[in-house]
Structure 1
Amino acid sequence: MSWETRLRLRHVRAFVEIARAESVSIAAERLNVTQPAVSRSLKELEEMVGVPLFDRIGRGIRLNEAGRIFHAHTSASMLELMRGYDRITKDGGISSRLSVGVLPTAATDLVPRAALTFREELPHVRLHILTGPNWLLFNQLRDQTLDLVVGRMPEKETAAGVTFRQLYIEDVVLVCRPDHPILGSDSPEWHISDHPLIMPPRGAVISQTVERYLTSIGLPEMRGAFETVALPVGRKIVGISDALWFISRGVVADELTAKTIVVVPLASPLLSGAVGISVSRSSPLSVERSVFAECLEKAVDVA
């Protein structure tokens, strides 16, 4: 009997869940079956494909090279099956919800564009979008109140239990009003300390990025007169004062296009970082989450 006639959905489900959990026992709990049943499904699958798919490491289990190749195809197939089922069983009404946490850098352009495309793709799904501080959104992601978070790659201490998928690289910029005196300087870095600073609050994803930059130019103790990543507040303070604001470019993209505020020319790779999608390692497969990720990628390509 050929392998394709022996293959069952239980084999694929067991394999995908073991790969996600890196544990047979945890996979069994998530699938609501016994551990021996999951082990048997994996053994049968490895016999069918003719190669081991996992390396056993101590008490854990991890995909090997063959397993990673097989996983790329099986996880995509599972999602397509789930998507097909959704499309033929939904009655056209709002019947499910996707909860997305959005950090400021993605809130002004990327996520709104993706949301409109997502509505066209899955009109029966209600998109629930939340903004908030970095620590709160990632806590909600880990406890599965949120399905994903869109924004800057989290720092190591925030990233526990989370996988990150990069969409693009974005810089943090120092912005000011168009007629600010610092713009006439050949070396604006030397004059940053002459003006009030608006800094990202402690706990914001870009906070450590800005602190590392200031340390690199000899201002390790520099503190902000104000702390915010909120566009309405920062935009207003910058517009009516000599304040300088460190903020992700995506937050102020429309203002930069309109030239109501401008970028102070700083040359530093320390101010660049990845923006993308963060997902809890313990979250189950989700058609809605997969489709929204595709919509985010499309929005990046269009921008």
Structure 2
Amino acid sequence: MIDAQIRFRHLRCFLETARLGSLSNAAEALHVSQPAASKTIKELEEILDVALFDRTGRRLVLTRAGKLYQQYAGAALIDLGRAQDLLREMPGQKSKIAVGVLPTAATELLPLASLAFQPLQPDCLIRVSTGPNWLLLSQLREGTLDMVVGRMAQGGTMDGLSFRQLYSERVVPVVRPDHPLNRPDWSPANLANYPMMLPPSGAVISPMVRAYLHNIGISNPDPEFENVSLAFGRSVVQQSDTVWFISQGVVRTDIATGALAELPLQDVMMGGPVGVSMRESALITPEQRLLLECLVTAASDIHRKATTQKRPT
């Protein structure tokens, strides 16, 4: 049972301080003085009889108890806000699902699922946001997004979040169809002779790509481009000798139509799970549940199509 002494201001101040790592920044965001914010945090710690922050450094860091309280208090406030919004909506107004999407799911998976979803829920708006993994997951925790579709992030960044895997996807090198390397006997050692486009350091696939290059003797790659955007990557690759390492899902259609060519990697396991991230213990609406079902169906269709294309004729 919630302690009767805890007020809404305690929770807001705690969550802002945890998010920003600074009492002064939290006070500014809440439009209160720093002493008032400090007093509020102290009151909450006294009520709970536990330290929520480690104050040994310049930046406030959550203790183990603080992380646990942040996870559940944050989820509770998000659900309260969503309940309030639902009550305030006028009859006939569209409901919304805010979806963050990473490049690997933006060109095929989410579009297919959304097109299947729309006739079933015509009064629900799907609002799509793109960005790096760390940003989308941060917005997911804060409640700005309802779900994130794409590759699973590294373990440490998934605190307070759940992940439902839909399928596993490879990372592949792609080139223009008439590229000098696009032949059956191409050698990975020759990659050093061509310009490369690699995923930026913040991308989930970046470590595995750089580990692969290190294993073939390219220890410190000096790429001409860092990019995961299809539009930019396709244009550069088609007009140059650039080799682009990218998730297969981003370029699957271009490979199938012959706009780009995949360089096969022998006995190389470079990839990972693709799925849906959501907040743990969050309220899942009927619309969100239906979109999840459409994503599962779309993922199954994509896998079936890819398997069919690989079969020898």
TM-score for the superposition, normalised by structure 1: 0.68
The answer to whether the aligner puts 1:273 opposite 2:272 as a matched pair is: yes
Q: Secondary structure at the match of 2:221?
A: coil
Q: Is 1:240 aligned to 2:239, yes or no?
A: yes
Question: Partner of 2:43 in structure 1?
Answer: none
Residues 1:109 and 2:82 aligned together: no
Quick one: which amino acid aligns to residue 224 of structure 1? P
Under a length normalisation based on structure 2, what TM-score does the superposition of the two structures give? Answer: 0.66
Cα deviation code 1:179-231 (max 9, x no counterpart): 11112362521111111100001111111121221222222211311000011
2:158 aligned residue: 159
Assess if the C-alpha contact under 8 Å between 1:188 and 1:264 holds in 2: no
Partner of 1:287: 286
Matches of residues 92-171 of structure 1 in structure 2 within 5 Å? 93-171=92-170
Q: Is the 8 A contact 2:189 2:217 kept in 1?
A: no
Aligned to 1:181: 180
Q: Distance in 2 between matches of 1:272 and 1:253?
A: 14
Which ranges in structure 1 are unaligned for 5 or more consecutive residues?
1-23, 30-58, 60-85
**1:1-303 matches, cutoff 5 A:** 93-184=92-183, 186-303=185-302
Match of residue 49 from structure 2? none
Letter in 1 for 2:188: E
Give the secondary-structure state (helix, strand or coil) at the position aligned to 1:172. strand
Find the aligned partners of 1:148 and 1:177 in 2 and give their Cα distance.
34
Kept in 1, the 8 Å contact 2:230–2:251? The answer is yes
Deviation at 1:151, TM superposition (A): 0.4
**Offset at residue 282 of structure 1 (A):** 4.7
Q: Deviations over 1:249-277 (max 9, x none)?
A: 11111110111110011124431211000
Amino acid at match of 2:205: I
d(CA) in 1 for partners of 2:184, 2:122: 52
Q: Is residue 94–residue 123 contact of structure 1 (8 Å, CA) maintained in 2?
A: no
Distance 2:218 2:241 in 1: 19
CA distance in 2 between counterparts of 1:138 and 1:195 reads 34
Q: Percent identity?
A: 42
Gapped runs of 5+ residues in structure 2?
Answer: 7-64, 66-85, 303-313
CA offset at residue 159 of structure 1?
1.7
Q: Is the 8 A contact 1:103 1:133 kept in 2?
A: yes
Retained in 2: the 8 A contact 1:188–1:266?
no
- Tell me which residue corresponds to 1:36: none
Which stretch shifts more, 263-272 or 111-120?
A: 263-272
SS at 1:140 equivalent:
helix
Give the aligned residue type for 2:115. L
1:123 is displaced (CA, Å) by 1.8
Q: CA RMSD in A?
A: 2.3
Distance 1:116 1:148 in 2: 17
Give the whole-Å Cα distance in 2 for the aligned partners of 1:113 and 1:271: 25
Deviations 1:117-143 (A, max 9, x none): 211222221111111111111110111
User: Structure 2: which amino acid aligns with 1:110?
Assistant: L
2:296, 2:170 → 1: CA distance? Answer: 19
Count residues in correspondence: 220
